[in-house]
């Protein structure tokens, strides 16, 4: 029988089976699990599940759908493969159709049905996604998430289940093997980004910016496994029983056609090559080698007086190419080996000193997400060193399960330090500072935002729709964010600064609806006046930049980064941070004072003293100043009191012996939940009580001002609860709420 006709018949037979349609229905319903019970994406809040809207309503359901869909199709595959043997029709059928052809067409039909199931799922969930995501919905992301996060797992399951059936010819054993393989991915391989074939390591997806980096990474893993599974399937195909022979006899017969085992071997080799040669994550050593970041012994006779780079990121491939120039002085009168740091994903094409090629060697050792190369500088007093470099930026393998930070696409770019250009490691500045200039070519619609106090200016518009921007700053490091940003200038008179608020155009409606600019102005005014100016205010201006979700913000000289997770509809509706989106925005902004950098010990997870206590209290004070006492009392103090009352009534708080008797997992869940509540409610209420005890708001402002501007102890720079109590001249017992 013709293979194509056989395939058509097999597909028709499958589509006429009720079990097939049940599998399609279950696959279409499976994303529901991602809305309720299986939410693998990171939550940025302790008080509730907060992730981006696309994460909440698209990525989580797609990831859950991928797992459940894979399980459903594995069962369908085993059922379908075992049907003939179960019904005792195998001998008859094999008399008409070759078992090899039957295996091939059956696999093809199952894959076609899986495509149909995915198409139905994607179409069925489209209206829901449009409704839930609103302004942040885009078709491309929707299709890519469904295709890569969800569908990517299903063919792998079909191939594995089919291979297991062909090897073992037993349904129960095949299902057990599949269960073991799936369990491996869900448990032991869960944090190993290349091994978790069923549940890819997706940490967050962005609403306002692009997600191509994580899409590429997951697609790469899927492809690696697809080749491996295809190879495994081909191997099992060789074991398809023929002429009443056993597996070995059939294998010996089937390998007579040389291309079959050859193809299986090629697929397996390709898969191994993809696995070992992955371009996404570096090969840093597992040890934390801090000497790799900070040079202990700089060169005594070599200095650098200036640097320039011409950087050309390619949004289509996610690669960066560039040429870096350094003005170096070699006063030693002899050749010197200077070391440079560069992104581990980049290759050095050439190094020239004063126009002549000079030898260089790239170290194989990588650590802390960096690699180094050594250049032999000539014995000349003034050297212009030109380095041509380029490649795909790699992320540190320590955080390989949370990829996506180094996004380079035509909608967003995040280029930090050595991803922009290599920099000398053991060469000191010639003067007090090092003038740095960089030209970068970006898509025309992008606005570059330089982190820190540097400046950007449009140099020229190129004919191909791109623009060249010039960035000027100081030092070896430069951090650039570029995207479709809206820039809003917010003058804050008491602070004497202008805040440049950069946020994604996709978020414009949300920002305007809650009058974010006004909230920012008033918050900065209040905090500057009552707590003190931020140490990282620039010279008359301060850049507040909304960044792609990266697990939190950070601040530096004249700039601060606010994670987009702070502005998601989900977070803005978090009642523990405020009763309206404007109040939550104030809360997130107050974190610029309480919570950035090393203000609170991140390792101290035992107590309830954290950035949230002072942040919630300060938010209450701002809301009181802006909206009046009644609203502040209702939204904060009453809500805290209610939550604290509930806390003291909680069964496990009253009976800790039952909590300690629970298994660790339950203990941790309950303790985390209670701690989150206490951090957001009990601690601000204690601070509010302290305010009453120290003599009112003005007295508390003075205390907070003192704590905020205190002299730091370099060995332990964190603000502790005891320091707060000491500043208030109170004891822990004074603030007891019971």
Q: What is the DSSP letter of 188?
A: T
Q: Look up residue 28 and give its two tokens.
A: 């279409």
What residues form DSSP beta bridges with 559? Answer: 543, 556
Q: Which is nearer to other proteins, 68 or 599 (CB)?
A: 68
* List 4, 458, 634, 666, residue binding other proteins (CB under 8 A): 666
Q: Of 268-276, 281-289, 612-620, 646-654, which segment contacts other proteins by CB under 8 A?
A: 646-654
Q: Which stretch binds other proteins (CB under 8 A): 534-542, 569-577, 594-602, 642-650?
A: 642-650
Candidate residues 5, 655, 710, 729; the one interacting with other proteins per rule CB under 8 A: 655
| Residue number, 40 or 318, with CB nearest to other proteins | 40
Q: How far apart are the first and last CA of the chain?
A: 82
Distance CA 564, CA 483 (A): 13
Which residue is listed with tokens 């018949």?
A: 9
Q: Which is nearer to other proteins, 93 or 667 (CB)?
A: 667
Give the rounded distance of the alpha carbon of 152 from its chain centre.
Answer: 19
- In the complex, the smallest distance separating the C-beta of residue 374 from other proteins, rounded to whole angstroms, is 56
Of 350 and 672, the one with the shorter C-beta distance to other proteins is 672
Contact present, 345 and 317 (Cβ < 8 Å) = no
Report d(CA 626, CA 526) in Å as an integer.
10
Instruction: Say how far apart CA 617 and CA 234 lie, in whole Å.
Output: 64
Instruction: Please provide residue 542's backbone torsions phi and psi, each rounded to the nearest 5 degrees.
Output: -150, 125
For other proteins, the closer of residues 365 and 651 by Cβ is 651
Q: In terms of CB distance, is 226 or 644 closer to other proteins?
A: 644
* Nearest residue (CB) to other proteins, 290 versus 658: 658
The distance of closest approach from Cβ of residue 68 to other proteins in the complex, given in angstroms and rounded to an integer, is 12
Among 646, 698, 726, 734, interactor with other proteins by CB under 8 A: 646
Note whether 603 binds other proteins by CB under 8 A. no
**Closest approach of other proteins to the CB of residue 678, in Å:** 15
Residue 430 or 662: the one with the smaller Cβ distance to other proteins is 662
Total residues contacting other proteins by CB under 8 A comes to 15
Among 49, 189, 652, 718, binds other proteins (CB under 8 A): 652
Q: How far is the CB of 37 from other proteins (least distance, A)?
A: 6
CB of 652 to other proteins, least distance (A): 7
Of residues 53-92, those binding other proteins (CB under 8 A): none
Per DSSP, the chain holds a count of helices (H) and strands (E) of 26, 21
User: Hey, what are 623's tokens?
Assistant: 């809301």
Q: Minimal distance in Å, beta carbon 173 to other proteins?
A: 22
Nearer to other proteins, 98 or 667 (CB): 667
Measured CA to CA in angstroms, residue 645 lies from 334, 641, 675, 727, 733 at distances of: 75, 6, 14, 27, 18
Residue 49 in contact with other proteins, rule: CB under 8 A:
no
H/E stretch holding 447: strand 447-450
Integer-rounded Cα radius of gyration of the chain? 30
> Phi, psi at residue 546, to the nearest 5°?
-80, 125
Token pair for 109: 């039909």
Q: Stretches 92-100, 553-561, 655-663, 686-694: which one binds other proteins (CB under 8 A)?
A: 655-663
Residue 141: phi and psi, rounded to 5, are -60, -40
Is residue 663 close enough to count as binding other proteins by CB under 8 A? Answer: yes
Residue 87: CB minimum distance to other proteins, A = 18
Q: Judged by CB, which is closer to other proteins: 131, or 661?
A: 661
CB nearer other proteins, residue 9 or residue 662: 662
- Provide the minimum distance between the beta carbon of 649 and other proteins in the complex, in angstroms, as a whole number: 4
d(CA 643, CA 608): 14
Question: What distance in Å separates the CA atoms of residue 342 and residue 20, rounded to the nearest whole number?
Answer: 53
What are the phi and psi torsion angles at 83 (to 5°)? -60, -50
Instruction: Tell me if 28 sits within 8 A of 120, measured CB to CB.
Output: yes
Site string for other proteins, 13-42 (x = CB under 8 A): ------------------------x-----
As measured in angstroms, the least distance from the Cβ of 664 to other proteins is 12
As beta bridge partners, residue 441 has 468
Q: Measured from the CB atom, is 223 or 670 closer to other proteins?
A: 670
CA angle at 81 for the pair 79 and 83, rounded to the nearest 5°:
65
Output 733 or 738, the one with its CB closest to other proteins.
738
* 651 contacts other proteins (rule: CB under 8 A): yes
Q: Does 172 help bind other proteins (rule: CB under 8 A)?
A: no
Least distance in Å: CB of 220 to other proteins?
34
Q: Does 658 bind other proteins (CB under 8 A)?
A: yes
The CB-of-78 to other proteins minimum distance in angstroms stands at: 17
CB of residue 581 vs other proteins: minimum separation in angstroms?
A: 24
Among 650, 701, 702, 723, binds other proteins (CB under 8 A): 650
| CA nearest neighbour of 204 among 419, 64, 58, 410 | 58
> How far is 348 from 324, CA to CA, in rounded Å?
11
Residues 6+ apart with CB under 8 A from 471: 437, 438, 439, 440, 448, 450, 454, 455, 456, 478, 480
Q: What does the block give as tokens for 495?
A: 């602070």
Q: How many CA atoms lie within 13 A of 46 on its CB side?
A: 20
Instruction: Give me the least distance between CB of 304 and other proteins, in Å please.
Output: 59
> Would you say 19 and 79 are in contact if contact means Cβ atoms under 8 Å apart?
yes
Scanning 436-444, 567-575, 576-584, 661-669 for contacts with other proteins by CB under 8 A, the matching segment is 661-669
| Residue 655: CB minimum distance to other proteins, A | 8
302-314 vs 428-429, strand pairing mode? parallel
Binder among 256, 654, 713, 714 for other proteins (CB under 8 A): 654
Residue 4: how many other CB atoms lie within 10 Å: 10
**Beta carbons of 538 and 497 less than 8 angstroms apart:** yes
Contacting range for other proteins; rule: CB under 8 A; set: 282-290, 421-429, 659-667, 720-728: 659-667
712 binds other proteins (CB under 8 A): no
Q: Is residue 670 a contact point for other proteins (CB under 8 A)?
A: yes
Minimum Å distance from CB 666 to other proteins? 6
Considering only residues 363 through 382, tell me which ones interact with other proteins, judged by CB under 8 A: none
The residue among 9 and 670 lying less far from other proteins, judged by its C-beta, is 670
Considering only 141-149, 217-225, 658-666, 683-691, which stretch makes contact with other proteins by CB under 8 A? 658-666
248 sits near other proteins (criterion: CB under 8 A): no
How far apart are the C-alpha atoms of 347 and 64, rounded to whole Å? 38
What are the C-alpha distances in Å from 359 to residues 302, 340, 377, 640? 17, 13, 8, 66
Please state the closest distance from residue 660 (CB atom) to other proteins, in A.
Answer: 12
Binding residues vs other proteins (CB under 8 A): 37, 646, 649-652, 654-655, 658, 661-663, 666, 670, 673
């Amino acid at each position: 029988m013709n293979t194509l006709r056989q395939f058509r018949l097999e597909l028709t037979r499958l589509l006429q089976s009720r079990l097939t349609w049940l599998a399609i229905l279950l696959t279409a319903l499976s994303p529901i699990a991602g809305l309720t019970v299986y939410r693998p994406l990171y939550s940025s809040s302790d008080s509730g599940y907060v992730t981006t809207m696309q994460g909440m309503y698209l990525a989580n359901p797609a990831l859950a759908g991928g797992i459940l869909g894979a399980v459903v199709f594995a069962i369908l595959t085993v059922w379908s493969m075992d049907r003939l043997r179960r019904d005792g029709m195998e001998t008859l059928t094999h008399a008409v159709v070759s078992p090899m052809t039957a295996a091939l067409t059956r696999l093809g039909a199952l894959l076609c049905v899986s495509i149909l199931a995915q198409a139905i799922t994607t179409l069925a969930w489209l209206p829901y996604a449009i409704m839930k995501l609103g302004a942040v919905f885009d078709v491309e992301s929707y299709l890519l998430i469904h295709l890569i996060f969800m569908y990517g797992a299903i063919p792998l399951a079909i191939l594995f289940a089919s291979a297991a059936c062909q090897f073992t010819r037993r349904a129960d054993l095949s299902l057990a093997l599949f269960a073991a393989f799936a369990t491996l991915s869900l448990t032991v391989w869960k944090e190993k980004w290349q091994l978790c074939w069923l549940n890819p390591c997706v940490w967050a997806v962005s609403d306002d910016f692009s997600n191509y980096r994580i899409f590429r990474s997951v697609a790469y893993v899927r492809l690696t496994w697809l080749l491996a599974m295809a190879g495994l399937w081909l191997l099992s195909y060789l074991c398809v029983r023929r002429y009443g022979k056993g597996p070995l006899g059939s294998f010996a017969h089937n390998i007579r056609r040389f291309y079959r085992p050859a193809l299986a071997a090629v697929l397996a080799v390709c898969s191994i090559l993809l696995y070992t040669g992955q371009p996404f994550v570096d090969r840093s050593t597992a040890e934390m080698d801090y000497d790799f970041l900070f040079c202990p012994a700089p060169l005594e006779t070599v200095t650098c007086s200036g640097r320039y780079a011409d950087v050309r990121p390619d949004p289509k491939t996610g690669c960066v190419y560039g040429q870096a120039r350094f003005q170096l002085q070699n006063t030693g009168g002899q050749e010197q080996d200077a070391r440079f740091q560069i992104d581990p994903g980049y290759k050095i094409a050439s190094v020239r000193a004063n126009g002549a090629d000079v030898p260089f060697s790239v170290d194989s050792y990588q650590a802390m997400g960096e690699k180094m190369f050594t250049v032999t500088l000539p014995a000349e007093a003034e050297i212009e060193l030109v380095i041509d470099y380029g490649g795909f930026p790699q992320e540190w393998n320590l955080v390989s399960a949370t990829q996506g930070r180094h996004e380079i696409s035509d909608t967003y770019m995040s280029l930090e330090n050595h991803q922009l250009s290599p920099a000398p490691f053991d060469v000191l500045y010639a003067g007090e500072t090092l003038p740095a200039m960089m030209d970068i070519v970006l898509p025309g619609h992008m606005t570059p935002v330089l982190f820190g106090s540097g400046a950007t200016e449009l140099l020229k518009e190129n004919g191909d729709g791109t623009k060249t921007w010039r960035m000027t700053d100081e030092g070896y490091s430069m951090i650039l964010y570029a995207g479709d940003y809206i820039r809003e200038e917010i003058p804050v008179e008491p602070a004497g600064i202008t805040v440049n608020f950069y946020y994604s155009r996709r978020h414009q409606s949300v920002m305007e609806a809650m009058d974010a600019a006004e909230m920012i102005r008033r918050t900065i005014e209040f905090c500057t006046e009552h707590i003190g100016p931020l140490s990282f205010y620039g010279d008359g201006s301060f850049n507040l930049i909304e960044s792609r979700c990266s697990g939190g913000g950070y601040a530096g000289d004249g700039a601060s980064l606010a994670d987009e997770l702070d502005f998601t509809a989900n977070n803005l509706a978090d009642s523990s941070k405020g009763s309206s989106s404007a109040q939550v925005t104030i809360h997130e902004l107050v974190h610029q004072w309480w919570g950035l950098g090393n203000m609170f010990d991140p390792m101290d997870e035992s107590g309830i003293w954290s950035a949230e206590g002072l942040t919630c209290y300060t938010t209450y004070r701002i809301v009181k100043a802006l909206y009046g006492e009644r609203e502040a009392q209702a939204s904060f103090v009453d809500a805290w009191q209610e939550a604290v009352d509930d806390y003291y009534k909680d069964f496990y708080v009253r009976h800790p012996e039952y909590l300690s008797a629970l298994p660790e997992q339950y203990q941790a869940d309950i303790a985390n939940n209670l701690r989150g509540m206490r951090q957001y409610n009990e601690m601000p209420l204690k601070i509010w009580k302290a305010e009453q005890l120290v003599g009112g708001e003005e007295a508390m402002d003075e205390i907070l001002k003192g704590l905020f501007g205190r002299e730091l102890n370099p060995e332990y720079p964190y603000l502790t609860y005891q320091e707060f109590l000491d500043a208030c001249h109170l004891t822990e017992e004074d603030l007891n709420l019971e």
